[in-house]
Chains A and B, each alone.
Chain A
Amino acid sequence: MFNYRVIALIKRELQEKLLSKAFVLMTLLLPVFMIGIVGVQTFIMSFESEGSKIELITYSDTLASKLQKVILEESFVKNGSLITTIKTVSENDFEKYLAENENILLGSQLDGIIFIPKSALKDKKIKYYSKTPKNFRLLEKIDRPINKVLVEEYFSSKKIPIEELEYARKSVDITSFKISEDEDVKEEGYGGLILSYLFSFLLYLSLIMMGSMVMQAVIQEKSNRIVEVLLSSVTSKELMTGKILGAAITGVLQMTIWLIPVILVASTTWFMLPPEAMIDVTFLQIAYLLFNFFLGLLIFVGLFTMIGSIFENPQDAQSGMWPILMLVMIPFFISMSMIENPDNPIANIASMAPFSAIIVMPAKMALVDVPIWKVILSTLVNIATVFAIFPIAGKIFRVGIMMSGRKPKWSEVVKWLKYKY
């Protein structure tokens, strides 16, 4: 299958793709874009909570002064993202107070009023009045100090030493350890999670991007009749192989470039990351990822090439594309679901099933220690999928690429499989 013709075709594909502006831009801009999105999001979030003003109203002066003390310790007071004023208003007068301040609340001088009634010492129920009461970020900030003060106030009469209180107040701090077949038990941070996200996303993006790129190219070759000249020199199988391998090599190269930051983070100390975000990845894993991606490209670019050969213009091809898109998207969502529970049974099946294994297995590996035999088995499944798809795609390609005119029906496409080609 690898003769001078296929090599010439691959060379041309690489020349065309690697030197194209789209490739260079996409390869360089995607990481910038991703960092940009995270940056913009952080920026917007920090911006939005700048300088909210609320009033904290308690029923008693003692509670107010305690609250004052606790609030002053909070970071939101220090960085000025939330300005609080603490007042005391008796329960009977609160209704009146609220009515008086209604205009201020409706205007933008004040974002909200929190009232802590006496009953809060029994049921911890407090009230928040605002034009936009569902501001969870704000309530999330204020809820801890209020709870702290209420708990202190509640137990102050119960003669419990302050240290015991401290203990009771503490929430459980879970440190995760990853048990693996290695000797040492490692403290596990969020690195794996980040990596899993990243891989799934990059895989998903690349498969769809490379796939539709090749599909467009096939449609173009078909519609402007280059294909007839090509087929007078190469067989349709060679043409298809050349196109798919050209795209797969381009894709792997692109992925390698994208993974360079990950490799550098994992293997050098050039980047200072917090220990929870440490990425634990070996070169063998990177090599596996790239090989897996290569198989993925063979499978999906193969399918996209087949679809491209059936249709003569991109609009018609849209309708043929969606089943293939589903084959990429569903596994992607399964991968995403694994972030909540890596042992999700659907994910377990998907990591071994044809098509989905390509996307789910690497994501799974970043999260849990998958036994090596499972990795090998899933790789074998992928290789088998490649071998199962090629003859089918090849037959459809061979017939489709020379068909012109009317858009074929699916039943006709199925018939092509039986053609003597």
Chain B
Amino acid sequence: MIALEVKNLSKSFGELKAVDNVSFTVPEGSIFGLLGRNGAGKTTTIRMMMNIIMPDSGEINFKGINAGPEFNSKVGYLPEERGLYKKMKVLDTLKFFAEIKGKKGKQITKLAKEYLERFDLSDRMNSKIEDLSKGNQQKVQFISTLLHNPEVLILDELFSGLDPINTNLMKNIILELKAKGKIILFSTHVMEFAERMCDHIAIIDNGKIKLNGSISEIKADRSKLNVGLNYEGDISFLHHHPIIENISDYGNNVGIRVKSEDDIQKLLKLLVDNKIVVKKFDANEISLQEIFIDLVGKEDAEVNHV
């Protein structure tokens, strides 16, 4: 069931069309990835959803509620550029952010302490924010988006700058929330995360939605000509081979796109004939990264490999 709908959202800054007729839907209890390069329009779209900037046209609908204070009170929002009051104490900060969402009292304090415990911060409860490391500040800010028990979580580049242990911790919490039926929307340009976590994605480029749908359908749709290969040997002879459309090299793994469905069998034969040790040959597999690059253009420095 569709819970959150973004319809025909547009926003221009002067000449620049930052967001151009963007629409997507997010089903209940799902994790949605808004994927795009830096400057593609992700943050502007999210800011319009949060009513921080006004769209030129279009609307947001969450179970019948439009963008505005009521919607905001049901959302936990973590912006890409993080900020907290430096002089405020950790627990006070958490209580304040819950209070502006309309939640206060003993229960919130208790919940805050529980989360701090989970993030290994309970001994820093009365420290000032400025005395915390950057990673810890980020954890505090993440907790502050959860305390008021939001129905929707909007996380802009959540994992940027986090170490693997904290990344994992946040990932687990997000999956818990998903199990509770919450909607989680996160924007990222890191495809690996999106691939592992998202049920649905939208790829945005130059302000326009290029692709939108469930990740499994998208993959199924686009994987007919694709092979995931794990090998030992030299496959450089495949470059410029007539049956090969494209090769995406990820080191030990390569994604190979052939020109027609028959070519997949030809490819396997070609590899064996050339004495390549095939460890894994997975027809009908495509990575999100390949889809993304295919859609958004040439691979460049801005698309991170993780």
Contacts and interface: CB of A to CB of B under 8 A. Distances in A.
Given A229-B78, A229-B83, A235-B69, 15 more contacts: A5-B69, A5-B100, A8-B100, A16-B85, A225-B79, A225-B82, A228-B47, A228-B81, A229-B97, A231-B51, A232-B50, A232-B52, A233-B72, A233-B77, A420-B54
Chain A interface size, as a band, is: 20 to 34
Interface in A216-259: 221, 224-235
Interface in A1-59: 4-5, 8-9, 11-12, 15-16
A227 B84 CA distance: 9
Nearest to A224: B83
Interface residues of B, number: 32
A375 interface: no
Contact of B85 (A4, A226, A231): A226
**Those 9 A-B pairs whose CB atoms lie nearest each other, nearest first:** A225-B83, A226-B83, A232-B77, A8-B99, A225-B81, A233-B100, A228-B79, A232-B50, A231-B52
A9 B96 CA distance: 8
Given A16-B88, A228-B52, A229-B77, A234 B100 contact: yes
Given A16-B87, A225-B81, A235-B69, A230 B54 contact: no
Interface of B: 47, 50-54, 56, 69, 72-73, 75, 77-79, 81-88, 92, 96-97, 99-102, 104, 141, 144
A177 interface: no
B11 to A, nearest CB: 11
Nearest to B86: A224
A109 to B, nearest CB: 62
Nearest to B43: A228
Contact of B53 (A225, A233, A402): A402
B12 to A, nearest CB: 12
B233 to A, nearest CB: 50
B85 to A, nearest CB: 6
Contacts of A11: 99
A230 to B, nearest CB: 7
16 contacts: A4-B99, A8-B99, A8-B104, A16-B87, A221-B83, A225-B79, A225-B82, A226-B85, A228-B52, A228-B79, A229-B97, A230-B100, A232-B72, A234-B69, A234-B100, A402-B52
Interface string A389-416: 0000000000000100000000000000
Contacts of A8: 96, 99-100, 104
**B interface: dominant SS:** loop
- Interface-central residue, A15, A225, A421, by most chain B CB under 10 Å: A225
A230 B145 CA distance: 11
Contacts of A12: 88, 96
B144 to A, nearest CB: 8
B222 to A, nearest CB: 35
Contact of B54 (A4, A221, A224, A421): A421
A123 B73 CA distance: 89
Nearest to A15: B92
Contacts of A221: 83
A235 B72 CA distance: 10
Nearest to B148: A233
A232 B75 contact: yes
A231 B97 CA distance: 11
B213 to A, nearest CB: 27
Contacts of A233: 72-73, 77, 97, 100-101
A11 B100 CA distance: 11
A174 to B, nearest CB: 56
A11 B92 CA distance: 12
Contacts of B141: 229
A232 B97 CA distance: 10
Contacts of B78: 229
Contacts of B52: 228, 231-232, 402
Nearest to A230: B100
B75 A4 contact: no
Contacts of A420: 54, 56
A201 to B, nearest CB: 30
Nearest to B76: A232
Given A8-B96, A16-B87, A402-B53, A232 B102 contact: no
Nearest to A236: B52
